[in-house]
Amino acid sequence: MSSEANDPAGLERFCEYLHLLARLQMNPRLTGKVAPSDIVQQTLLKAHEKREQFRGGTAADLAGWLRAILASTLAESMRHFGRQRRDAGLERSLQAALDDSSANLERWLAADQSSPSQQVMREEHLSRLARALAELPEEQRTVVELRHLRGMPVAAIADQVDKSAASVAGLLRRGLQRLREVLGEP
């Protein structure tokens, strides 16, 4: 078992990453009732309580395990606030959506790296990106996440955020520019 799962600080370094995934996957009906940070807090608490169940050995294994706990936590919150009974299909679909978001995030960082040191570097890049996204103004962060992590076209984003396509394009441009600045990239 990885010592990272036993070390609360090892779990805490995934906080922004989990927060980003929670924001991406939260049902809009749920966001008015519970914050993504609450979902992440519950996820990390469950992970700490279940740390003996973690069987992986790498940071990637730990990230996958945490995504599964996050999917379960999101499904529980949706059931609680929607007064629905347990739906294993919902948990599986949330897990798949979280895995897809995570894969999109990794692809965005051009991540087909396989050595252990490259995996650690990729995980550090994912954490840096999640922290940098969290620093963007909300409107910019939202459109950048929808476009680059969910793969939505600009027109669909414009409909969702109730802005013109030109306005969304401007938010994207400024958001990506700010993201490059925060990440220290040219």
The string of pLDDT tens digits covering residues 71-107 is 888 888 877 776 554 455 545 665 566 566 555 555 5
The string of pLDDT tens digits covering residues 3-45 is 555 565 578 888 888 888 888 777 666 767 888 889 999 999 9
CB–CB of 32/26 below 8 Å? no
Indicate whether 108 pLDDT > 60: no
The string of pLDDT tens digits covering residues 122-180 is 667 777 888 888 889 999 998 998 888 888 899 999 998 899 999 999 999 999 999 88
| pLDDT for position 36 | 87
Domain ranges of the chain: 3-135, 136-186
Which comes out higher in pLDDT, residue 114 or 100? Answer: 100
- Put simply, whether the predicted model's pTM sits higher than 0.75 gets the answer no
CATH class of 136-186: mainly alpha
